[in-house]
C-alpha cells in the first residue's frame, strides 16, 4: 500500500501524463466540519472505454493478466473504501478522465496527506509542458497554482525544470498551506 495521499496523487497524475493530457487539475479538499478529505484529478487525456473503465479499479479481472498489472487505481480505491469513503471514476474516450477519492477525515486508517508541496514540485518540474492546476481547499478558503501562470512569470517555460524554480514552488505551496490552516 502507498503510505501517503501525496504518493497516490503522484501516481494518478502520472496516469494523466501517460494518457497524453495537456491540462490536468489536481484538487485536494479538506472539509473538517464535513469530516471529508477528497482528492480529485481531472484530465483531458485520451480517456478510457466503458469496458476498460469497469475493470480498471479491479486488479483481479482477466484483462489485467494480458498486460502489465497496474495497481495505482485499485490501491487508491481500496484505501478510500477502507476509510468509509468512496471512489468515483468517469471517463470519456477522446475527452478525458475524472477521478475522485473521498476519505473520512478522522478515519485512523486514512493515509496522511503527506508532502503535497514536494509532490506538486515533482509533478510541475517533471512535466512542465502540461497545464497543471493544483488547487487546495481548506474550510471555505483555497489556494491554487498553475504552470501557466508560472510560465508567464518565468517567460521561459523550460525554467520550470530547474531545481531553483522547483524549490521556490515547493516553498510557495508550503507557505500557502500554512496560511490556509491559520
Ligand atoms: N487518466 C487516465 N486516462 C486514460 N487512461 C488511464 C488513466 N488512468 C489510468 N488509465 C488506464 O488504466 C490503467 C491502469 O492504471 P493504474 O494506475 O491502475 O495502473 P498503471 O498506471 O498501469 O500501473 P501503476 O500505476 O501500477 O504503475 C493504465 O495503464 C491506463 O491504461
Ligand atoms: Mg498508474
Residue-wise pLDDT for 80-118, tens only, equals 999 999 999 999 999 999 999 999 999 999 999 999 999
Residues with CB under 5 A from ligand 2 (ion): 15, 72
11 Cβ partners below 8 Å, 6+ apart? 2, 72, 75, 76
DSSP state of 32: T
Domain span at residue 95 reads 5-181
45 lines ligand 1 (CB under 6 A): yes
Nearest atom of ligand 1 to the alpha carbon of 12: 17
CATH number at residue 101: 3.30.565
Per-residue confidence at 2, pLDDT binned at 50, 70, 90? Answer: low
Q: What tens digit of pLDDT does each residue of 133-155 get?
A: 999 999 889 999 999 999 999 99
Report pTM: 0.94
> How many domains does the chain contain in total?
1
43 lines ligand 1 (CB under 6 A): yes
Tell how far the Cα of 11 is from the centroid of ligand 1, in angstroms.
9
Read off the C-alpha cell for 51: 469496458
3 state SS of 37: strand
Amino acid at each position: 500500500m502507498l503510505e501517503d495521499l501525496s504518493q497516490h496523487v503522484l501516481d494518478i497524475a502520472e496516469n494523466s501524463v501517460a494518457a497524453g493530457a495537456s491540462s490536468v487539475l489536481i484538487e485536494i479538499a479538506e472539509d473538517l466540519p464535513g469530516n471529508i478529505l477528497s482528492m480529485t484529478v481531472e484530465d483531458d487525456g485520451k480517456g478510457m472505454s466503458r469496458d476498460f473503465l469497469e475493470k480498471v479499479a479491479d486488479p483481479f479481472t482477466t484483462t489485467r493478466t494480458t498486460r502489465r498489472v497496474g495497481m495505482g487505481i485499485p490501491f487508491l480505491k481500496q484505501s478510500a473504501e477502507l476509510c468509509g469513503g468512496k471512489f468515483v471514476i468517469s471517463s470519456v474516450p477522446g475527452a478525458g478522465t475524472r477521478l475522485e477519492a473521498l476519505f473520512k477525515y478522522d478515519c485512523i486508517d486514512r493515509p496522511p496527506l503527506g508532502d503535497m508541496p514536494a509532490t506538486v514540485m515533482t509533478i510541475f518540474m517533471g512535466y512542465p509542458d502540461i497545464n497543471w492546476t493544483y488547487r487546495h481547499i481548506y474550510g471555505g478558503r483555497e489556494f491554487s497554482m498553475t504552470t501557466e501562470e508560472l510560465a508567464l512569470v518565468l517567460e521561459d517555460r523550460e525554467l520550470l525544470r530547474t531545481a531553483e524554480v522547483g524549490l521556490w514552488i515547493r516553498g510557495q505551496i508550503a507557505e500557502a498551506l500554512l496560511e490556509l490552516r491559520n
